[in-house]
Structures are given as structure tokens and as C-alpha cells.
Amino acid sequence: MNINKVFDKIKGKKVIIIGDSMVDSYVLGKINRKSPEAPVPIVHIQKEEIKLGGAANVALNIQSLGMRPILCSVIGDDEDGKSFIKLCKKNNLETEGIIIDNQRKTTNKKRVIVNKKHILRIDNEETNYLESDTREKFMKNIEKLMSNNQIIIFQDYDKGVIEKKLIEKIKNINNNLFIAVDPKIRNFFEYKNIDLFKPNLNEMLNAFQSKDKSIKNLTIISDELRSKNNVKNLMITLSNKGLVINNNKGFIHNKIQKKKIIDVSGAGDTVISLATILFYLKLPEKFIAEMCNLAGGISCMSSGVSAINLKELIENAERNNLDIYL
């Protein structure tokens, strides 16, 4: 099969992304001297920019891969919230799934970048769960936007938008959902009967209170998680060690080619977006692993959060002859 045809199959399909959205702010500058007030460098600001982050970056990746993302999230009635809506409109993202809550603040992650290196991050956020009336309004809005044979991505950043009641409510709407999850620790074991579950290595080890990074240990705890939570496909990303996939067909460890890593921000968003599509299409695990490693590697080669470029991804996949795994 031609790799282009893979993406033609899902072109225009609606995907609902539920989760914590945020504004990613970047301060780019240079350091020429140290502060006389404290032993810290002084950053001379050369440029400032803002981008969509969190679940919104997953929506951008889904859009870049040719599908129609519907972002469902909660933001604050503040300046960052207004900037968030403007960025959505600028990037042609639909905003009907966004709830504005005047009791919350919009998460803003400010990164200070010097010579393409990330030297500091400042988070302005709120991590409490939604108030009951906001949660109910949010649930009803998601239900209104859903349809049969729907792809759902839970993009959980532990900022309070996703909780057990919401997970159970969404899952019980109908039985024809394909559900993918990019988890964090607070709700890690609340996701049951899931089609795709994609933690990273640290999240997986923390959930099982383990420090053993060996493939042998990952095999054991991934088997346990799949059995306990009825996870069909488990993918664990291992940073520069590649990724592993565990499902009914077995356990595979797919290593990654060495690449120059500039910034890992947003790489997980790219991988969950692509993995969701490929598992939904029931493509071979080796192809999925190679494609996700490739996409994650491309994402890490640029500074700041950004969506994958489909043309670049396909060109790289063809250059690496990944179609042999189809």
C-alpha cells in the first residue's frame, strides 16, 4: 500500500479531542551578562510569541494529518483565554467545544529560550477539578458534538479538565467509539476498556512505583496494565530509546534512529495524534512503531511546540522505505 493512501482513508474524518488546553508562550533572547542582584543570567529579549499548547496542539496535529479536529476544553475568562480563542481562529480550529469559565484561569506555560536551548519555564495555571456546574455544561457540550463511529482522544495534562466522572460519562455514550488516551498520573488507572493508551516511560514507571527501566520490567508492568484496565493497544514512548507496543499480537520494542534533539516540547502530542490514526486503521504494529518514532524525531528537531507537517512526514517515511511494513 502507498503511504499516501493511508492518510487518504481518514481524510476529513471528525476527531474529538478532550483535555487540558493552554497557551504556550516563548521568550527568545540572548545572554550577555549576569545580574548584579543575584547569581543568575540576564536574558535580553529579542522576540516573544505565543502558540496553542496541550490538547490544542493535538488538535493542530490532527488537522495537519488531514482530519477534522473538534477541541473540547475549558479555559478562563482572562487575557490568556482571549489569546487562546484568537489563536484557534487563526489556525482554523473550531471553537464550539470550548467552555469559558470565569472561575478558572487559562493555563500559560512561558518558556525562555536562548540559542535554541530551553533554560527556564514559568507556569501560570490552576489544577483543581472543574466545579460541578461547569463539568455538567462541559459534558453536555461534548455529547452534543459526538456522533457514531467516533474517534476520541483524551489528552490529559492533570490540569483538572478530565476526571473519573467525565471519562465514564463519555465512554458510556455509545459503544462505537475508538478511544485513545495520553495520560498523566492522577487519572492513570481510571481509563478502562481503551483502544489505545500511550504513557511515556516516566509516567508508566511512576504509576507502578517502579524505577526499573529495563525492557523486561516494562513487559511485566505493561501486561499488568493491559489486563487490569482492559487496554487493547498499549504504547510506551521511551524518548531516545524509541517505543514499545504491547497488544494481543505480542510485545515489540522499536528503537529510534539517532537524531539531533533541539526541543522535546509537543513531541508526545504528535505521537498520540499519529498513533491514534494508525491504530484506528488497524495497520501493522511495525509500521505504526516506525511511523511514530519518525514523527516524534521530526518534532524534536525544531524549537517550540509545533504540529507535524504531513508532506514532510510522508517524504521521510518513503525515504526510509517504511511502506514495506504495510
User: What's the pLDDT score for residue 300?
Assistant: 60
- Residues of the chain short of pLDDT 50, as ranges, are 262-263
What is the C-alpha to C-alpha distance for residues 69 and 88, in angstroms, rounded to an integer?
Answer: 11
The grid coordinates of residue 121 equal 519555564
- Residue 184: give the domain boundaries: 3-325
The single residue of 24, 80, 101, 269 carrying the catalytic annotation is 269
What is the C-alpha to C-alpha distance for residues 141 and 208, in angstroms, rounded to an integer?
Answer: 34
Count: domains in the chain: 1
What is the C-alpha to C-alpha distance for residues 254 and 270, in angstroms, rounded to an integer?
Answer: 17
User: What's the pLDDT score for residue 106?
Assistant: 98
The residues pairing with 183 across neighbouring beta strands, listed in sequence order, are none
What is the C-alpha to C-alpha distance for residues 234 and 246, in angstroms, rounded to an integer?
Answer: 5
CATH code, 52? 3.40.1190.20
User: What's the pLDDT score for residue 304?
Assistant: 59
User: What's the pLDDT score for residue 266?
Assistant: 59
Known active-site residue 269: yes
User: What's the pLDDT score for residue 175?
Assistant: 77
Q: What is the pTM of this model?
A: 0.94
What digits encode the pLDDT tens for the residues 91-130?
Answer: 999 999 999 999 999 999 999 999 888 899 999 999 999 9
